[in-house]
Amino acid sequence: MEPSARRGVRPIDDTDPSAGPMQTETGTVTLVQEDRFRLAADNGAQRLFILSHRARLRLDELQGLARSQRRVCVAYPDAEGLIAGAAECVDVVERS
């Protein structure tokens, strides 16, 4: 399946000068408050994210992911020194 066909995936425009390198983190959404959420990463880290306006996921869908405890992959621009990452894509990780 093409990445752009998956729910929540938005192709990155390589010509956009503001689009820096993207990082990904996989884990479980444990808390949602307004447009902010916490991810319990697979490596044990707790990461804070803000749902970007560029994300295709709606807030009620994000809350549903927290309730169901499904594993997700979060893509966000690399931005060192920030308290929270801007989640541009939150995609369910299917079990293999």
pLDDT in tens, 39-76: 999 999 999 999 999 899 999 999 999 999 999 999 99
* 19 C-beta neighbours (distance < 10 Å), count: 13
Q: Measured between alpha carbons, how far apart are the two ends of the chain, in Å?
A: 14
Pick the CATH number of 3-7+20-92 from 3.40.50.300, 2.40.50.320, 3.40.50.2300, 1.20.120.10: 2.40.50.320
Residue with tokens 């994000």, as numbered in its chain: 62
Is pTM beyond 0.85? Reply is no
- Going by C-alpha positions, the residue among 55, 49, 52, 27 that lies closest to residue 37 is 49
